[in-house]
Structure 1
Amino acid sequence: MKKVIPVIFIVISASLWGMIAIFVRKLTDAGFTPMEIVTIRVVTAAILLGLIGAVKYRPQMKIKFPDIGLFIGTGICSIVLFNWCYFSAINQMNLSLAVILLYTAPAFVTILSYLFLKEKMDATKILSVFATIAGCVLVAGVNLNATAAIRPIGVLIGLGAGFGYALYTIFGKFALKKYPTFTVTLYTFMVASLVLLPVTHLWDKWNLLISGEIVLYGIGLGLFPTVIAYLLYTKGLEKVEGSKAAIIATVEPVVATILSVFLYAEGFGAIQAVGTILILMSVLLINRPIKKYEINNKKRASIT
């Protein structure tokens, strides 16, 4: 059961990320740009985490200055980079293609985990990575007519989104060796906020920010798909390999697609159903119990 709980944490976090459109659409309708919405998200998260820390986790709010590089990794190289690349890619190409390039993240995590975290690269992981990417392609629904308009720079930026998305898992793994989940999550969003606030000049829309239901949607964006989601994902990373966590997290587009069907009456056809099945099968495959004979074979291999 202890092995299942971290996986459940990651699934819940990915499901919460899949709900982000509920908040983003409302804030977009209110007149905020994509990067302003990202700034609302990280700043609100940093404030909420700071309040939680002040009340309950004061000892966990301390870090050593040389370790700030870890949070530059999670906050700037991941959160800021992947959001900038993702929104830039959307401006360069069809939305579905930008989504697909974003979800190359499991492939990046698997390679980077092998190189820097010394995680094993086996056939199951490779198969799961390819299956999740294929599943995301189908769920996103590729518009083949739009592929002719793709420019190489757009593809590179889109891959940058996937790479940046992957870096949270890598830097997060290193940070968790020194700090607890709360500390890693808090400083990730503090660092990201310090970068994004001066860039977006969000304070110019202060009157809009404090108006009516915008406050509630802003807090909701910072709380559910951000604070809670990242705390759960980071907690899951303590016990789950980075490559496996990235594959499990691809349930996010499945949840997002299902919500879009029920909340916004968007289409869901056979192709999306096949993609959903591929993703879920990959998650099950990567988390299948290791049988006794497989363990014995691994022990024999290590001896020889």
Structure 2
Amino acid sequence: MSTLADDAPAVAAAPRTATGLLFALASAISFGLSGALASGLLDAGWSAGATVLVRVGIAAVVVLPLGVWALEGRWDVLRRNAATIVLYGLLAVAGAQFCYFSAVQHMQVGPALLIEYTAPAAVVVWLWLRHGQRPGPVTLAGAGLAALGLVLVLDLVSGADLSLVGVAWSLAAMVGAASYFLISADTTNGLPPLALAAGGLVVGSTALGLLGLVGVLPMRASTDVVSYADREVTWWVPLVVLGVVTAAVAYCTGIAAGRRLGSRLASFVALLEVVAGVVFAWLLLDELPRPIQLLGGLLVLAGVVGVKLGERQTTRVEPTPA
């Protein structure tokens, strides 16, 4: 056996790791804002499909020029990675969001989100089975702490009724989320992070638009005022923030984090999105977190630290010579 920290280099430079953690934190916070913002739009008459499509579409418009600039005329790189970009757009962008919103049509938001965020565990299993990167005991302990923290953050200790259809959609969303972490962390294809984000958002918005045209994804919009806590805002304000902050910024920083941290660690830091979601629900929707949820947030943080510390104990299983 030979020691291997992650799908990233075994010994990462401290500044690169620190920058990666900052990118991952920014991505988690940005993604975490989306739920509270979308809730106000849904209450104002928007459908989930229309909200997601506008969100991803705005992000595509914002990131596309940056992606073209990042390519620096290397269109051959884009052609070589066309399949990767399409896969990223369909699974990590359109698929994950469409499946998640389909899940919450059949079950409570909390259980659906918890099932989707088993993605980090799926990433660990994939790296183990596909690349022989066997997690060490500290990594497994960190994963367990993070999972327990999510249960507390989502306040599922009282039990929840699960729909088999909803569970199936949530598991499909988990596949999309795991694909996001794995593809984002790939540094071997030569594709700049901004180009991957731009391509994925364009493919994702196109796919969502087609789903809307054929009637699979209901499209309903409204120009009514949107209410948050004790204030009201014009309908287009949360849409712009959703597109620019919770999609454009979130995907770009998420890919940058994955390139620096590897898919395993980046996926576990992304669990902080759930904690951020609770905080934003408190600030924007007056949904005050309970003490048990705050405890869960601390456990998620402890789990992320455990995964990071456990990277040094991850081993690659070498084939036995014949």
Q: Shorter-chain-normalised TM-score: which range?
A: 0.7 to 0.9
Corresponding position of 2:284: 263
Contact 1:176 1:238 in 2 (8 A): no
**What are the residue-to-residue correspondences of 1:1-304 with 2, within 5 Å?**
1-53=15-67, 56-57=69-70, 59=72, 62=75, 63-142=77-156, 144=158, 146-147=160-161, 150-174=162-186, 177-201=189-213, 208=223, 213-288=234-309
For each residue in 1:5-40, what CA deviation from the matched residue of structure 2 results, as whole angstroms up to 9, or x when unmatched? 111110111011111134312322342211221111
Q: What is the one-letter code of the residue matched to 2:250?
A: A
Instruction: Give me the TM-score of the superposition, normalised by structure 1.
Output: 0.84
| Identity between Structure 1 and Structure 2 (%) | 22
Q: Using a 3 Å threshold, how does the CA distance of structure 1 residues 57 and 151 change in structure 2: closer, same or farther?
A: closer
Residue 286 of structure 1: how far off its partner (Å): 2.2
Residue 167 of structure 1: how far off its partner (Å): 0.8
For each residue in 1:167-204, what CA deviation from the matched residue of structure 2 results, as whole angstroms up to 9, or x when unmatched? 111122337632011111010101111111122249x8
Q: Distance in 2 between the 1:206 and 1:138 partners? A: 34
For each residue in 1:206-228, what CA deviation from the matched residue of structure 2 results, as whole angstroms up to 9, or x when unmatched? 8959xx93333222111111111
Number of residue pairs matched by the alignment: 289
Residue 117 of structure 1: how far off its partner (Å): 4.8
For each residue in 1:33-78, what CA deviation from the matched residue of structure 2 results, as whole angstroms up to 9, or x when unmatched? 1122111111111111123446x44626734435221112211022
Q: Using a 3 Å threshold, how does the CA distance of structure 1 residues 174 and 5 change in structure 2: closer, same or farther?
A: closer
Contact 1:175 1:184 in 2 (8 A): no
Q: Distance in 1 between the 2:73 and 2:184 partners? A: 16
Provide runs of 4+ in structure 1 moved above 4 Å.
Answer: 204-209
Contact 2:45 2:222 in 1 (8 A): no
Q: Which structure features the higher share of helix residues?
A: 1
Instruction: Give me the TM-score of the superposition, normalised by structure 2.
Output: 0.80
Q: Distance in 1 between the 2:163 and 2:235 partners? A: 36
